[in-house]
Structure 1
Amino acid sequence: MSSDERLDLEFAYTAYQDSCRDLYSPHYYCRRPSGHDGVHAAGFGSGRLRWEHQPDHAPHMLS
């Protein structure tokens, strides 16, 4: 399974309240499960973003 396929499954089975929600921008926040390993990710297909946590963004800014 590719990392994109794995992310699609994570997004599909992770409810908003159980997602990480690390903020990339006001429009993109991490949809991976809370406590995940590795990079944050949001979006689908060619629009998918991956990012490392930015130290100037407090975690869970959108919670």
Structure 2
Amino acid sequence: MYLLSRLFLFLTETAEARRQQREEAYLAESVDIYDLEFRMRKMDREKATRHPSWMNHYG
């Protein structure tokens, strides 16, 4: 029953919610404030350089 409920939750979650959970888990793994800041800046840089897939050939 547990597996079935986890599957249902996975199928009903949005992609945005799963992305946010991954980011929060990544930030939670930081070992100190400097590592946390480094990870936050890294995520910000990655978000700034991301483009929709249809724009890949324009770069």
So what's the TM-score if we normalise by structure 1?
0.31
Q: Which one scores higher on RCO, CA 8 angstroms, separation ≥ 6?
A: 1
Q: Which has the larger radius of gyration?
A: 2
So what's the TM-score if we normalise by structure 2?
0.32
